[in-house]
């Protein structure tokens, strides 16, 4: 029991699977009368809790080998709030992106329509001959009539 480092536990905190296995390993090393109870007291847990962990490990409910990636995957309350905030922000940004893409699509179609209308108007516009400056046509004498 001398080489075992007692994990510091804040109140209302759960032990990790690795810590539980380390405590159970140390618990199995305790051979003297009362040493198992002393270990539980030193850690700050009940002896019945250690027995429950031992029963769980024997039945396979408590894995003997810890996957460090799975151990750290638990989210605390702050992480959950931040995750919800980020997901909400993501939805807002997705809707803004969809509106922007729709606006760009509409502007592209409007530009193409205006360009087509301009080409069509230029193609069908009648060519007016430029007249010489001077008298308007209605003031010009008609051929065959002479003015006196």
Determine how many CB atoms are found less than 10 A away from the CB of residue 23. 22
Tell me how far apart the alpha carbons of residues 51 and 45 are, in angstroms, rounded to a whole number: 11
> What residues make up the domain containing 85?
75-121
Q: Are residues 65 and 21 in the same domain?
A: yes
Nearest to 1 by CA among 32, 43, 30: 30
User: Is 142 inside any structural domain?
Assistant: no
Looking at residue 22, its pLDDT comes to 86
Q: Are residues 25 and 60 in the same domain?
A: yes
Q: Total domain count for the chain?
A: 2
User: Is 148 inside any structural domain?
Assistant: no
Looking at residue 1, its pLDDT comes to 47
**102-126 burial string, b = 16+ CB within 10 Å, else e?**
eeeeeeeeeeeeeeeeeeeeeeeee
Q: How far is CA 138 from CA 117, 126, 134, 135, 144, in A?
A: 35, 22, 12, 8, 15
Tell me how far apart the alpha carbons of residues 40 and 44 are, in angstroms, rounded to a whole number: 6
Q: What is the pLDDT of residues 125-134, one digit of tens each?
A: 666 677 667 7
Q: Are residues 44 and 81 in the same domain?
A: no
Q: Are residues 27 and 67 in the same domain?
A: yes
Q: What is the pLDDT of residues 83-98, one digit of tens each?
A: 999 999 999 999 999 9
- What mean pLDDT value characterizes the chain? 81
User: Is 61 inside any structural domain?
Assistant: yes
Q: Are residues 38 and 79 in the same domain?
A: no
The DSSP letter of residue 60 is: T
- Which runs of consecutive H residues, i.e. helices, occur in 30-144? 35-43, 47-59, 68-71, 77-124
Q: Are residues 65 and 87 in the same domain?
A: no
Looking at residue 105, its pLDDT comes to 96
Nearest to 40 by CA among 29, 52, 49, 31: 49
Q: Are residues 45 and 29 in the same domain?
A: yes
């Amino acid at each position: 029991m001398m080489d075992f480092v007692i994990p510091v536990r804040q109140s209302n905190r759960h032990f990790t699977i690795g810590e539980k296995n380390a405590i159970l390993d140390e618990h199995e090393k305790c051979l003297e009368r009362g040493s198992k109870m002393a270990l539980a007291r030193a850690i700050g847990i009940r002896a019945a809790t250690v027995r429950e962990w031992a029963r769980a490990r024997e039945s396979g409910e408590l894995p003997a080998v810890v996957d460090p990636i799975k151990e750290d995957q638990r989210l605390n309350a702050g992480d959950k709030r931040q995750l919800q905030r980020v997901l909400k922000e993501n939805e807002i940004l997705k809707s803004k992106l969809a509106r922007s893409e729709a606006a760009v699509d509409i502007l592209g179609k409007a530009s193409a329509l205006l360009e087509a209308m301009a080409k069509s108007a230029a193609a069908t516009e009648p060519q007016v001959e430029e007249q010489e400056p001077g008298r308007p046509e209605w003031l010009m004498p008609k051929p065959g009539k002479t003015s006196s």
